[in-house]
Amino acid sequence: MRIVSYNVNGIRAAIKKGLIEWLTDYPVDVFCVQETKAAPTDIDLSLFTSLGYHVAWYPAQKKGYSGVAIFSKKKPSEIFYGNGHTMSDSEGRVVRIDLGDLTIINAYFPSGTSGEERQTYKYQWLNEFNKWIQLIKKERPNIIVLGDYNIAHKEIDIHDPKGNKKSSGFLPEERAWMDQFLANGWVDSFRQKNPEVTGAYSWWSQRFPTVRLQNKGWRIDYICTTEALAPSIKLATILPMVKHSDHCPIVLEIKK
């Protein structure tokens, strides 16, 4: 089973840049996108259903903002929209599907880059989300939590750790949350398979056009699994040459 997570930074823009053609050439069983910036009525869903996908789409209430979607070749046995927290759900940040005994949670973690108020909310969201998924894990041992976490975990995950010590996304409190999260029975699939790989990033700032060419990026997109699923991981990789967004796709292949 091949699972891909991709912050598309606007699905309509990504489609215009060749997203569907790429997805046609690169077969994916479960395709999870963040920051759709659209409702399902804003695009031609047949672009995806004609490729054999079932659609679970959770938009933000605010137009052109946030939003997540899951496209799966297998029809989900269950779909859950949101995590029950009002602000998170109004921003369309979480969608979950169950495929038999496998649960996939697609999440777009808040960014704190716009100021102190959003950074404070980010910490609130992280705590709420962690409590929510830990409850699910008690009932569902085989879980994948993927998406744009908006956190670079270790110095190896960011091109300039010293220069970004005070930057949202690499703050000590955020990195400590990742430490605790992984210590509570979760596995960073990419680092499990690529523990020492450097220069592996999934996002590059658009403010400076040359940073992607120079690979001055951050690894802030993750596919994490429960420890129970970890032995099933065959491949975990990043596709920096795929360019429909300021992020790139990340990939997990599991034996299922």
The C-alpha angle 71, 188, 235, rounded to 5 degrees, equals 65
Round to whole Å and give the CA distance between 158 and 146. Answer: 19
Q: Of the listed 29, 42, 98, 148, which one is catalytic?
A: 148
> How many angstroms separate the Cα of 99 from the Cα of each of 4, 95, 105, 175, 252?
15, 13, 11, 31, 16
What torsion do the CA atoms of 35, 87, 63, 103 make, to the nearest 10 degrees?
40
Chain centre to alpha carbon of residue 19: 17
Query: Any bridge partners for residue 108, and if so which?
Result: 148
Round to whole Å and give the CA distance between 189 and 176. Answer: 18
β-strand pairing of 221-226 with 78-81: unpaired
The verdict on whether 148 is a catalytic residue reads: yes
Going by C-alpha positions, the residue among 146, 157, 98, 137 that lies closest to residue 227 is: 137
End-to-end CA distance of the chain: 6
Round to whole Å and give the CA distance between 170 and 192. Answer: 21
What does the buried/exposed string (b/e) look like for 63-78 if buried means 16 or more CB atoms within 10 Å of the residue's CB? Answer: eeebbbbbbbbbebee
Tokens describing residue 214:
């120079």
Give me the active site residues, please. Answer: 148
